[in-house]
Chain A
Amino acid sequence: MNHDSYPDDYIRAILNGVKSIAMVGASPVNVRPSYFAFKYLAQRGYDMIPINPGHVGKSLLGKPFVASLADIGRPIDMVDIFRNSSHIMPVVEEALKLAPLPKVIWMQLGARDDAAAERAEAAGLKVVMNRCPKIEYGRLSSEISWMGVNSRTLSSKRAPVPTQGMRLSLNRTSVGGGETAASDRAAKNRNEPS
């Protein structure tokens, strides 16, 4: 998988396919990006599990914190990692010990570990790096268009009026990552030591 830019169909299949998401590094602090993403994904109907050993015994938006992936005690579809790049590998190693294996490893905006990605892909998992599932869901559904963001999708269909807690259709026509090629190129250049 080329991790510099993802085809919309790849992201769309992941977000349409997964139901349960364990968020490693979920924060109860309501100004942290992990809190935003957790809340949004829960509102869009995902079964969210907050993983953070420092908050066991407490809940995040009604979901009890779990200490580690191994402690979840039921199968999960996706591990969303809200940790710096240097802390990714141990989380991926832990995820690869789960039975059954999760289907997807997702690393948040700013996080990238190509070696960890290779390990996960070798075990048959899909990997997304340096992206936010909230932003991608908002983009493919065009909900993020309210913020003047280029969703890179088009649709001539009338969408239902969005209400709280509703799953939105992600199946709009993609304009393709090529339309923000400059941004993808810049990210790639940043990742390559000069």
Chain B
Amino acid sequence: MTDRVPGFSTLAVHAGAQPDPTTGARATPIYQTTSFVFNDADHAASLFGLQAFGNIYTRIGNPTNAVLEERVAALEGGTAALAVASGHAAQVVVLQQLLRPGDEFIAARKLYGGSINQFTHAFKSFGWNVVWADTDDISSFERAVTPHTKAIFIESIANPSGSVTDIEAISAVARKAEVPLIVDNTLATPYLIRPIDHGADIVVHSLTKFLAGHGNSLGGIIVDAGTFDWSKNNKYPVLSEPRPEYHGIRIQETFGNFAFAIACRVLGLRDLGPALSPFNAFMILTGIETLPLRMQKHCENAKAIAEFLSGHPAVATVNYAGLSGDKYNNLARKYAPKGAGAVFTFSLKGGYDAGVHLVSNLKLFSHLANVGDTRSLVIHPASTTHSQLDDAQKTKAGAAPDVVRLSIGIEDKEDLIADLEQALTA
């Protein structure tokens, strides 16, 4: 008997879940409890000492959340995962394990505006210094490496521009610098791109977007690829050195290829506290069961709408990597052959005012600050998600003042095109 590898859709439905041992419930129950009773004093001590598998307190782990964690780890091809309250929480927890005050990390300039803010202001106040690099110029990552560099952070498909990142090229820079590559895979989801297959050491998500998929639940997750050797050069003492709060346990020595996920849980989540509600975990799990079907429809609709906009006389440019002729089309064909995602930008010949006019005349698209919903969404990043950046930063981030961002839903594409048509000519 050889190990058969189930397909992505089978894992999306089954990985991590099994009938509840106590009740036989087939859907994953919502374990809406703060705490879990111990069998006896020895069991309690074993759990607190990380010697036994089991549950203590929902801030550290919860059975509903554990199903979500194993499922996303399986879909990404990682060894383990840790679910947290939001994508932003995932980023704090990851970097807290890797950086000490005064350290640096390199980040792609083309990022979600919220991440740019978090890195520029909040992380700077922790003494974690971001150094920006340009995914269109891989050598800018090489030049940014210093002895203080502890990680490289990129998005697989960048928000809002929809550009596809050359993960393998940046992974080569990370490997040479002996630092882990962190990839935010939110906009691609593992259905379109599995960054670990291309050299990522850590994958993070805002689960809020396509993975949950219905615009109803916040969540984030950290996936450990199990690829990085944390003990090699004393750069990551959190993982390689004895932990005083766990009586001298060394995390990598004890947990091997899922040590990073354990560190994020028993140090990061325990101390910083951004635990995911089990109810949200349940909603996100339900969403993930239909991820493959939804992503197919999202991508099919997005391509049709990008093509429609490209041919429209009021439209100046369309930036969708799925269009042949797009600057990122070759990267999209390599990394995301099943589709280039469903978030992209375009600009109108009428500039900023025409963008505002369009947004206010749309009837089916919702004007709001989210992506990856079943519903089609529209936003003007320069005045919202990226408003706290200056104009130069906005342009570098792909959010120039004349740019409109769309997140295409799973409605009938004919209806979406009709809505855009009427709003463009209104």
Contact surface of A with B, Cβ cutoff 8 Å:
7-9, 30-31, 33, 35-36, 39-40, 109-110, 132, 135, 138, 142-152, 154-162, 164, 173-183, 185-187, 190
Contacts and interface: CB of A to CB of B under 8 A. Distances in A.
A36 B51 contact: yes
Given A132-B256, A149-B261, A164-B43, A156 B19 contact: yes
B306 interface: no
B21 A161 contact: yes
Contacts of A183: 78-79, 225-227, 257
B61 A148 contact: yes
B249 A31 contact: yes
Given A147-B80, A150-B81, A158-B21, A178 B3 contact: yes
Contacts, number: 155
A178 B5 CA distance: 7
B70 A148 contact: yes
A190 B73 CA distance: 23
A12 B154 CA distance: 39
A164 to B, nearest CB: 6
Interface residues of B, number: 63
Interface of B: 1-6, 10-11, 14-16, 18-22, 24, 39, 43, 46, 49-55, 61, 63, 65-67, 69-70, 73-74, 77-83, 196-197, 225-229, 246-249, 253-258, 261-262, 265
Contacts of A181: 77
Contacts of B66: 145-148
B254 A36 contact: yes
A175 B83 CA distance: 22
Contacts of B81: 148, 150
A80 B256 CA distance: 17
A76 to B, nearest CB: 24
A7 B265 CA distance: 28
Contact of B49 (A30, A132, A182): A30
Given A146-B53, A146-B63, A180-B226, 8 more contacts: A31-B249, A109-B253, A145-B70, A146-B55, A147-B261, A148-B81, A158-B20, A179-B74
Contacts of B53: 138, 143-144, 146-147
B51 A39 contact: yes
